[in-house]
Homo-oligomer: A and B are copies of this chain.
Amino acid sequence: MKILITAFDAFGGEELNPSAQCLKLLPDQLGQAQILKQELPTIFGQAVGLVTEKIRQVKPDRVLHLGQAGGRSALSLERVAINLADAKHPDNAGQVPVDQAIQVHGSAAYFSNLPIKAMLEAILQAGIPAEISNTAGTFVCNQVMYQSLYLVDQEFPQMQAGFIHLPYSLAQILDKPGQPALGISDMVRGLEAGLDLLVSRG
């Protein structure tokens, strides 16, 4: 089994992105599964371009995208990606798309076909806070999740894809009183529990 995991670089004035930090700490092999890692720029268009290229080249069995969702307090397993790019703040290239479709002929939304509820249980069993989320937003994170599920629909019906949003890391909230966060090592532990579940399911 080949699992492609992606993460984003820092954006929105942050110096770090917990998803990129977690990605580095995840193992390259998990049981019988090979882990392939790809960092993405937080840039509309570029990120999905890279993801598409990588998926076509690697043909992974599973794709797990990671990203930061500041303000959340738990690992958020995203349920659904919607066909919309609508930014409130510029991406890392200064783009601020408004109410744009991601794929003109795509479905209004795609549900993740990862076993998110089983993954949720596995992460909670590992003692790490986690939840199902019903929105991946309308920024680059959602675009990347949508694109992978569009590729499942159009080209790779055997592939499973999904997205986990991560809270701020502890380092990010040192100057943000009242914001929730999780330690990087705890987030990695939760992600490994979720990936273990994927691998054990085969």
Identify the A interface with B (CB < 8 A). 71, 73-74, 79-80, 82, 84, 99, 107-111, 117, 124, 127-129, 131, 134-135, 137-138, 170-171, 173-174, 177-183, 185-186
Given contacts A84-B111, A108-B108, A110-B108, contact A127 B171 (CB under 8 A): yes
**Which of B108, B111, B129, B173 makes the CB contact (< 8 A) with A73?**
B173
Q: Number of copies of this chain in the oligomer?
A: 4
The CA of A80 and the CA of B99, in the complex, are separated in Å by 13
Complex Cα gap A80–B142 (Å): 14
Chain B residues whose C-beta falls within 8 Å of the C-beta of A179 in the assembled complex: 73, 180
Pair B181/A180 contact, Cβ less than 8 Å: yes
Chain B residues whose CB sits within 8 angstroms of the CB of A138 once the complex forms: 79, 134
State the CA gap A117–B181 with chains docked (Å). Answer: 22
A170 contact from B107, B127, B177, B178, Cβ within 8 A: B127
| Cα of A181 to Cα of B182 in the assembled complex, Å | 7
Q: Which residue on B lies nearest to A123, using beta carbons?
A: B174
Chain B positions within 8 Å of A186 at CB level: 170, 183, 186
The minimal Cβ–Cβ distance linking A161 to chain B, given in whole angstroms, is 14
Query: Looking at the complex, which one of B109, B129, B181 makes contact with A80 (CB distance below 8 Å)?
Result: B109
- Nearest residue (CB) in B for A98 is B117
User: Is B80 within 8 A of A131, CB to CB?
Assistant: no
Closest chain-B Cβ to A153's Cβ sits at a distance in Å of 10
Contact residue among B73, B107, B171 (Cβ-Cβ distance under 8 Å from A180): B73
Chain B residues near A73: list those with CB within 8 A. Answer: 173, 177-181
